[in-house]
Amino acid sequence: MIELLKPLFRGELAALGEALVCGDPAAPGLQPLAALLASPAALDALLARHAAFRRCDDLRPVASAWMLDYAGVLLPAVVAGASVLQHLFPVAAGSVALQLDEHARVRAVVIPTLGHAAPGQDSASRYRPLLDGHLAPLIARLSEGAGLPEKLLWGSVSRWLEPILEQAAAAAAGLPPLAALVAADHAYLLEQEKWPDGRRNPLFGRRKHAAPQGTPPGGHGKPILLHRQCCLYYRLPGESHCGACPLSPALRRARGSALKDAA
């Protein structure tokens, strides 16, 4: 694991920190991300491999599942670096390579250097390399290659950012300056419909609540906070809606019953 990350990724969290590797992105067996984005044929081949693994001919849920997994590999270490350590790892698409398994799942992201410290930089500056330099071009190409709306892919990123930033906030408890910085990052990334420069924030999405499944009419239960977007996982063979899916028929019925009871 990168030495800088070791204090943050201990025990059961170690695997998350180990997914970011400092090495040679041009080493044999790695897939440079820039080459993948520049070649429609290469991206098509990756999605085809993953589709075979998922046993699904519809590339939309295949690409969504791939992105959800990828966000879980990329984001923990990069976000911990930017928000907790105020350190920027070089993750622009032109700098990194992917370590893929036989099913085209990303197992690690390889960066060429350790990057640099960024004390005092605002949220926009610290997250620009990740958002504009890496995620935006990747999501645009996946959307084009799979015929999938970009907002669903950004929703997968938001789904990972939320708990990572919550974990960062817990780590910053008792350290007011750091806690304020993490809170500012959370607000910038997930709570603002538009960024200060006027651009639409693709990570933003209003989250709704639903009554738990099995709640009787007029009954009470702790509301479930739904995901911003459905990831289409239910369209994969053998899968179903998750417990916080905004498109879950059971949760939508529960919401409808609750609204009728309140009328």
- Write the DSSP string, 51-89: HHHHT-S-HHHHHHHHHHHHHHHHHHHHHIIIIII-EE-
pLDDT over 90 for what percent of the chain? 77
pLDDT at 239: 84
Q: What integer best gives the mean pLDDT of the chain? A: 91
- Return the number of other C-beta atoms located less than 10 Å from residue 187's C-beta: 12
What is the rounded CA–CA span in Å between residue 230 and residue 100? 25
Q: Which strand (E) or helix (H) includes residue 142?
A: helix 136-146
Q: Mind listing the domains of the chain with CATH numbers?
A: 3-205 (1.10.510), 206-255 (no CATH)
pLDDT at 261: 41
* Res 248 pLDDT > 80: no
The torsion defined by the Cα of 244, 246, 252 and 258, in degrees rounded to 10, comes to 70
The torsion defined by the Cα of 67, 71, 74 and 79, in degrees rounded to 10, comes to 150
pLDDT at 263: 36
